[in-house]
Amino acid sequence: MRSFFKTMAACLLALVLFAIVVFFFMIAVVGNITRKEVPQVRSGSVLVINLAQTFAELEKNNPLDMLREDESTAPGLYDVVRLIRNAASDNRITGIYLQANGNGNGYAASEEIRNALESFKAAGKFVIAHADIYSQEAYDVATVASELYLHPKGFLQFSGYSVTYVFFKGLLDKLQIQPQIFYAGKFKSATEPFRAEKMTDENRLQTAVWMNDLYDGFLLRTAMARSQDTALLRKLAVEGLVQTAEDAMQYKLVDQLKYDDEVKDEIKARLNLDKYERIEFVTLSNYWAANPRNSSGDKIAMIVAEGNIVDGKAAQGTIGGETYRNLIRKARLDQSVKAIVVRINSGGGSALASETIWREMALAKQDKPVIVSFGDVAASGGYYMAVAADSIFALPTTITGSIGVFGMLPNMESFFKNKLGVTFDAVRTSPYADAGAVYRPLNENEKKMMQASIDLIYDQFKNRVAQGRKMELNVVDSIAQGRVWTGKRAIDIGLIDRFGGVEDAIKSAAAMAKLENYHVAVYPEPETLLEQIFGKSEPMSFRDQMKNELGEEQYRIYEELRNIREWSGAQARWPFVILRAGGK
């Protein structure tokens, strides 16, 4: 027995020592990662920007990429714009090389990047763009270049814009699932894929208008950059005249046809290098690491809201009502924060969460300047949360508006019965105790109650807009109805105040707060290195993830079906599954 305890003690000691060694080993590894040298930017450097890279509103920082250069580490859009403008006055940067094989960014984000490149070129520095294949989205940004090159056997897409919607009504009919839909606003088209087999006339009209606004802007920018006539450019697309690289050259859409090595030789000639000397290329990620944000002076809080608006706390890539209420409140109560900029890139989501964020924005506005900057999209709930601000900035290519509300509840009774052989029965203490259950249709009173709720929220939405934008309610109603607008039109109907990107919004906030020396602190703050490596302390289990995706009630149905396979032999379990108890 004594020998056994000695062995146990030795094993425990060994485990403790092993844990200590592993702990200090991980500290050493993390320390080595974080001590990676700051990239050096040498004189005569050329900044490389890959347009195919997606620049989200918040920075992407993969800790493993600290050991190597990789595009999964990327600055956020604000920093991309800041870095390009910084490079214009950086004597070490002589020019920019645009790799234009695709564009990973939306229309407004691309316009912000293009505007920054215009400022860079205006400083007297070169911008050279090259691609094997130009998409229209990449070409739109690349036309800003001093020299525009295309692979001799490459291709330039010049065929016009199109928008395609997918409709699921036929699928739902086959599955015998009936979508019970309620909406306010004749242009509110979010539910169309489930209630129609093609676009309604209203949706076709609004889509044609905003799409042509974007396309007209593309043609105008191209015409100005290439000294062409917009009528000719439109003809090229209508008649499909650009099919080869030679066609692109013939119609002066590019300057020359060059292979990659020839473009590099062109850059060397500009830098007075011989053919054996190496070009000092600096990637955007390395330039970002070498040029951190300024942290001196007064603080402006920039709160980035990107993704779907949801109730409660925000998961990554969403705008949680509770999370963003707390972020704005923190900035409001922080006396070191002199102004707040909220950057919104969202197509909307929960009306309740939007109202929660709107409330906190309205409170913050009473204490300090609150400026909103719209990204690619700030529509519906994304617009709702913005209307309390002092001023709203957007670009002509921003999609906004969509002041409308909808709700949808599937009736899956026939699906369960006819496709799965599953039926339901219930005992209620009151007629509406299981209202909203997916296993039965709503009755007429429930439908009226649902529509009344939608109408109430819609009226509240319009009132928030009228109050925040200082409009008459009837005027708001005329431009609401769920209709989508481009920034180009939104400024004329009073939905936004000024054209401009995120930097313009920050400058406006600084001017309102009368700041001369300031820095921008971006929220939500990025995860720590250890959080990125090891993940959250309480990761969601598979069941939690399923529950999160399906919802509480649908998950219970799934769980009961899953449990059937375990029913072998005698069972000692109670015979009920409570799918819904009480109102909600």
- Would you please indicate which residues are annotated as catalytic (active-site) residues? 188, 380
User: Which structure tokens are listed for 437?
Assistant: 């259950």
Question: Which strand (E) or helix (H) includes residue 302?
Answer: strand 298-306
> Measured between alpha carbons, how far is 492 from 494 in angstroms, rounded to an integer?
6
* Of residues 198, 202, 193, 185, the one with CA closest to residue 451: 185
> Which residues, 6+ apart, have CB-to-CB distance to 49 below 8 Å?
84, 96, 97, 98, 99, 113, 284
Nearest Cα to 521, choosing from 511, 509, 530?
A: 509
Q: Are 181 and 191 in contact (CB under 8 A)?
A: yes
Q: Which residues pair with 306 in a beta bridge?
A: 345
Query: Cis ω on the peptide bond leading into residue 524 (within 30° of 0)?
Result: yes
* Residue in 157, 50, 147, 154 with CA at minimum distance from that of residue 98: 50
Torsion angle in degrees (nearest 10) through CA of 196, 309, 58, 505? 100
Q: What CA–CA distances, in Å, run from 354 to 100, 346, 523?
A: 37, 11, 18
Supply angle C-alpha 153, 158, 163, rounded to 5: 130
- Cβ atoms of residues 80 and 51 within 8 Å: no
The DSSP output letter for 162 is: -
Taking a C-beta distance cutoff of 8 angstroms, is the pair 386, 344 a contact? yes
Query: 401 with 421: CB under 8 angstroms?
Result: no
CA 483 to chain centre: 21
Rg of the Cα atoms in the chain = 28
CB 404 within 8 A of CB 184: yes
